[in-house]
Amino acid sequence: MFILSFNQQVTVYSKFLFSALLILTIFSSKAYSQGVPNLGQTDRWMKGALAAMERQDYETANSIFRNLIDSGLPLPEEMPYYFSETLFELKQYDNSSNFLSKYFELNGFRGENYQGAKELEEKLKTPLAAIASCQLCNRKGYRLETCETCNGTKKLEQECSYCKGHGIVGCSKCAGTGMITKRNIFNIVEYYECDRCAGKGRLTCPTCNGSLKEVSECKTCGGSGTVPSEEICDHKPHEHL
């Protein structure tokens, strides 16, 4: 039997231990890199958005903030405030109010921009009140336009789904035969004209009343006759040329 010397055993054990530690280090590093969020990217986005706000390029700032939200990365605590300011400048007052509420929820009165947030909250009151009282826009402040599906009628006319556009349906009492049967006291089957359909075997469709058409609420606009557009409402009637 081949027996290793003490020094050889130490050498083999050391090599094994080194290999095990190397493998463990590689896997640990990989797991760590996958688990740690890319805070550098978050910082770059925030700096880019703030720079855009400083030069009053709010469309660019809006785009950067939305990229940050969509990325799934942790959001900086002050980000909701800056995004709220951006949305305010873009006249997206409802969204601005939502993110401002989120800022207060996350930071309370300890936020770096608490005072600015309170001032923005005050500025939002007037446009939000205008949106709430306006009949020309939805609650988010987007101007309403006529629904193209129903042309503002709120309803849709289509082929009757019950009679399939025939206007008549088979009589269920006589199964469409026009006759019903009964057994008399002598157990003899007797035939009678169906009293429900007067022997015709069919009835006027109860859903469309024979009009062949069925009227239902427009699903596109939910029966309102209007849908929100992408235009921010100015709360003034527009003249149609």
Mean pLDDT, the chain, as a whole number?
85
Query: CA 82, CA 96: separation in Å to the nearest integer?
Result: 10
Question: Does the pLDDT value for residue 17 go beyond 60?
Answer: no
Q: Which residue, chain included where needed, has tokens 């990325």? A: 71
Q: Which of 106, 56, 117 is nearest to 86 (CA)?
A: 56
Confidence band of 119 (pLDDT split at 50, 70, 90): very high
How far the first Cα of the chain sits from its last, in Å, is 105
Tokens of 225: 């006759």
DSSP per-residue letters across 108-122: GGGSTTHHHHHHHHH
| pLDDT of 29 | 47
Task: Work out the angle between the directed axes of helices 93-107 and 79-89 (0-180°, nearest 10).
Answer: 160
Render pLDDT for 128-160 as a digit per residue (tens, 0 to 9): 999 999 999 998 999 999 999 999 999 988 888
Tokens of 181: 């049967």
Task: Work out the angle between the directed axes of helices 79-89 and 39-54 (0-180°, nearest 10).
Answer: 30
Sign of CA dihedral 19, 20, 21, 25: positive
Q: Which of 47, 42, 82 is nearest to 62 (CA)?
A: 82
Domains of the chain: 39-133 (1.25.40.10), 155-183+190-217 (2.10.230)
| pLDDT of 165 | 85
Render pLDDT for 194-236 as a digit per residue (tens, 0 to 9): 888 888 989 999 888 888 888 888 989 999 999 999 999 999 8
Q: What does the chain come to in residues?
A: 241
| pLDDT of 1 | 46
Question: Does the pLDDT value for residue 84 go beyond 90?
Answer: yes
